[in-house]
Amino acid sequence: MKTLFTSIGREFKLIFRNGISIFMVAAPAILALVFILVFGAVNETTLQLAVDDSVSAAEQAKLERIADVERFDDAARMEARIRATDAVVGVRMVQGEAQVVFEGNEGESFISGTSELVGMALSAPETLPAYQSVPVAVKGGMAYNLSMIGMLLMSLFIGGATVGLSIVDERESGAIRAVAVSPMRFSGFIASKLLPALLLGLVGISAAALIIGKASLLPQYLLLAVASALVSGMMTFAIGAFAGNQVAAIGVLKLLIPIGMILPISAVFVSEQWQFFYYILPMYWQYRAINAILTNTSAFWPTLLTLLVSIPWFMASVWHFAKKVKFRMGR
């Protein structure tokens, strides 16, 4: 166990010593920021209000009929909440009149519409029907949907690719030969690569989900990342097997990126009756799982199939890698 943790620590040292690997680790966050710049942050359609202690319980009850309301003890805390990254509007009472407080970067139509809605809610009779927030599966434009799915797929892909580059470093420096003849078991070597790839995948998908405003879906994405561990491992050992140096590794990545991302997304253009051709690809099931999560449908089967379908691919890539570097698998 100590040897395993030592190997994992050495793995992260190799990763953060390589400029390309550092960029790849940061790629999910960078892509998520680019996504926001192009499409805007993904927010819930429910209006969110923050009120301070100047708003009475009766007035808060009226506001809760048209929005989700958070209450704060004083104006300073309410204003701090308004300045947070999500779209929250403040309401306070000054000499019997309602003041609607905005962060200042909202659009004119949002400001006027929200102000009018708050005014109507506060002046409405007690019998105003309460609102109910009902989630629906909203489909945006194709460019929006495919860009989000592609970004999340890339977040899952990055971990395996990054650790794969560190294996190429070891092959290029000759360090892999020392590992191959060391007392370390082959299973321990696999774990020392698989666990960092999994951790990087978890970090990548978490960063992307949080930045684009999908924090509520994070548990499902994390479960998918765990189920994708062998997909990451497949990428890791495929790069390690087919690339003996960094130049060759870039060439392998140019091949794997279309297979890992573009090919599964292409299923959206294929009729459902012909999609069985994709079933042997674990990345296809990653795509199906992400799409299910985004559309509020069950992602159980796509997530499970991501794990099951990846097993033979992972075993094949490990076998080929062991053969390439002359690592005895039975040890």
Q: Residue type at 216? A: S
pLDDT of residue 330: 54
pLDDT of residue 2: 66
Name the domain count of the chain.
2
69 and 175 inside one domain: no
pLDDT of residue 176: 85
Of 68, 90, 123, the position where a domain reaches its end is: 123
Nearest to 35 by CA among 187, 153, 181, 208: 208
33 and 73 inside one domain: no
Nearest to 121 by CA among 60, 206, 163: 60
Q: Is residue 166 part of a domain?
A: yes
Give every CB contact of residue 194 below 8 A, 6+ residues apart in sequence. 229, 230, 232, 233, 236
Q: Is residue 77 part of a domain?
A: yes
19 and 59 inside one domain: no
Torsion of CA 262, 265, 269, 275, to 10 degrees: 110
pLDDT of residue 11: 86
Q: Are 207 and 245 in contact (CB under 8 A)?
A: no
Of 76, 95, 123, the position where a domain reaches its end is: 123
176 and 230 inside one domain: yes
Q: Are 30 and 182 in contact (CB under 8 A)?
A: no
pLDDT of residue 264: 92
Q: Is residue 201 part of a domain?
A: yes
Number of residues written out for the chain: 331
Which structural domain, as residue segments, surrounds residue 215?
2-38+140-325
29 and 83 inside one domain: no
In the block, which residue shows the tokens 């040890």?
331
State phi, psi for 41 to the nearest 5 degrees. -65, 145
pLDDT of residue 40: 61
Torsion of CA 272, 277, 283, 288, to 10 degrees: 20
Nearest to 268 by CA among 300, 235, 299, 291: 291
Q: Is residue 130 part of a domain?
A: no
292 and 190 inside one domain: yes
pLDDT of residue 134: 43
pTM for the predicted model, two decimal places? 0.70
- pLDDT by residue for the chain (331 residues), tens only, comes to 667 778 788 888 888 887 888 888 899 999 988 888 777 654 445 688 999 999 999 999 999 988 899 999 989 999 988 887 567 899 999 988 999 999 887 777 778 888 999 998 888 776 555 444 444 444 445 777 788 899 999 999 999 999 999 999 999 988 888 877 777 788 889 999 999 999 999 999 999 999 888 888 999 999 999 999 999 999 999 999 999 898 999 999 999 988 888 899 999 889 889 999 999 999 999 999 998 998 778 999 999 999 999 999 999 999 999 998 887 665 5
Q: Is residue 128 part of a domain?
A: no
